[in-house]
Amino acid sequence: MVTITAELPGRDELLGLYDGVGWTTYTRDPDALLAAVAGSHLVLTARVHSGALVGLVRTVSDGVTIVYVQDVLVLPSHQGAGIGGRLLDAVLERYAHVRQTVLLTDAEPGQRAFYESRGLVEVHDVEPHPLRSFVLLR
């Protein structure tokens, strides 16, 4: 059984989760990761019955017109059990009144189908008028 809560994770478990999914760019600067998570508009965590952190989703938002789904991550040992879907569904429900939901992710196999199953559309596929998206990564 997995419980979804708005409880912020501790430093060690947060670093363990991000390292556990291979997101080492985030864990190279633990203080920056902790500040980013603390500064998020919403953080939801997924924990197993023992209390261990197995997943997390976080957003950046004004709470009215736009929400960026910044991170959706689930430990590989718990992937495929619906945890990522539950986390993302909780975010989409919480922000149902917000006009724009934006998510930027890499092109790993299976991600498109996962996000489309939740109603998201790749920006170039938006109808009737395709949109453009721009990014500057440092």
How would you write 39-73 as a 3-class SS string? CCCEEEEEEECCCCEEEEEEEEECCCCEEEEEEEE
User: 136 lies in a domain?
Assistant: no
For range 89-98, the mean pLDDT: 97
User: 70 lies in a domain?
Assistant: yes
Range of the domain at 103: 2-125
User: 97 lies in a domain?
Assistant: yes
Number of domains in the chain: 1
User: 134 lies in a domain?
Assistant: no
User: 138 lies in a domain?
Assistant: no
User: 116 lies in a domain?
Assistant: yes
Local structure of residue 99 (DSSP, 8 states): S
Q: Among 14-28, 33-47, 77-91, 110-124, whose mean pLDDT is lowest?
A: 110-124
User: 132 lies in a domain?
Assistant: no
What pLDDT sits at residue 8? 94
Contacts of 76 (CB under 8 A, 6+ apart): 20, 21
Give me the CATH number covering residue 98: 3.40.630.30
pLDDT tens for 44-73 read 999 999 999 999 999 999 999 999 999 999
